[in-house]
Amino acid sequence: MASTSRRALRLLSLFASRRLWPLRDLAAGLGASERTVRRDIETLRRLGYPITTVHGPGGGYRLGAGHPLPALVFDRDQALAVAVALQTAPRTVSGLEDDAARALAALEQAVPAALRAPMESLRLTRLQNYWEFPAPPVDPAALTAVGTAVRHRHVLVVETLRADGSRPGPGDDDFLPARRIEPHHLVVWAGRWYLVAYDLGDDQWRVHRVDRLRPRPTTRPFGPRQHPHDDLARFVMSSHERGDTPAAWPCTGSARLDLPAGVVARWAPGGSVVEHLDAGHCRLTLGAWSWAGVAGILVTFDAELTDLRPPELAHACRRIAHRLAAVADAGGEP
């Protein structure tokens, strides 16, 4: 009976994460046979949970409306995932640190003691690593407005902000007029929130930094479109026009690479900027804690480098070349 009860709770937790489940997926998730899952579903039905059978090739079982799920039906792995997420995610959204800490404390009080101990063992201390590329946190109001527009498929009117959060005026060189866009998907990459959207002004797919947008919601609906890439995360990573600006570093330099912008954008570290030059060349601007660090990252692309800026970066490359040549010569001695 105890085993059946645990499976029933686990079954409810699966339904909480996804409404429609094929029988084989439920069996795999529970580590039980399909016959056992059917019996557990009948047990839940007798307890009043409206689980319906969906027939057809895409069918399975669906938990209907009209009966609330038990509060906080988590298994061990889910509880640990929530604990880690609450401690790591707030750094990307402004002002959520205290709220996340209170939510974690409330969660620890609500779950059974068997889950509380491993959650408490994952109290994290954040350390700044020199190779982290921090991003400005997103305004929760802007993120909510964008997320709501994505969910309800409503057109957004957006204004582009500077890196410091200010809005350029009509007479400024970097001023862009407000745009009407269809917000399709949110992607988080390298600590930054990006919006994949279709621009109604020039009929192009674009990637926007959410922290660089001032969104104005509308109630105008839009329909589905064929996405620009089957993998939207890869589309974001390979788009060089993401609205990125160089992260603040002691040393910031750039070079012309004999590689397409899309290739470099995919592998460039967060906080760098890729400028398209032509089909086979781009300019990469990035920072590091030393000029040798900037040079070292550029070398990882294993491509020809020209037009290095500033002169300090070129000097660092020459020093590294001399050191490596000495190492190669020494390695050739018997």
Q: What are 196-216's pLDDT values in tens digits?
A: 999 999 999 999 999 999 999
Instruction: Give the domain extent around 99.
Output: 76-120
The answer to whether residues 231 and 309 belong to one domain is no
The answer to whether residues 161 and 228 belong to one domain is yes
274, 236 contact by CB (below 8 A): no
The answer to whether residues 151 and 226 belong to one domain is yes
* Strand, helix or coil for residue 185: strand
- CATH number of the domain at 320, please: 3.30.70
In a domain, 166, yes or no: yes
What does the pLDDT average to over 264-282? Answer: 90
In a domain, 131, yes or no: no
In a domain, 90, yes or no: yes
The answer to whether residues 113 and 151 belong to one domain is no
Tokens of 210: 């959410």
Total domains present in the chain:
4
**178-187, 243-252, 300-309: segment of lowest average pLDDT:** 243-252
Calpha distance 145→186 (Å, rounded): 12
253, 286 contact by CB (below 8 A): yes
- CATH number of the domain at 53, please: 1.10.10.10
The answer to whether residues 56 and 81 belong to one domain is no
The answer to whether residues 84 and 59 belong to one domain is no
pLDDT per residue over 301-311, tens digit each? 999 999 999 99
Domain boundary among 235, 265, 298: 235
pLDDT above 90 for 295: yes
The answer to whether residues 216 and 266 belong to one domain is no
The strand pair at 281-288 and 305-309 is best described as unpaired
Domain boundary among 235, 264, 287: 235
Calpha distance 128→149 (Å, rounded): 34
In a domain, 227, yes or no: yes
The answer to whether residues 104 and 159 belong to one domain is no
The answer to whether residues 55 and 84 belong to one domain is no
pLDDT per residue over 141-161, tens digit each? 899 999 999 999 999 999 999
Domain boundary among 42, 63, 84: 63
The answer to whether residues 58 and 80 belong to one domain is no
Q: Does the global pTM surpass 0.75? A: no
The answer to whether residues 228 and 154 belong to one domain is yes
pLDDT above 80 for 324: yes
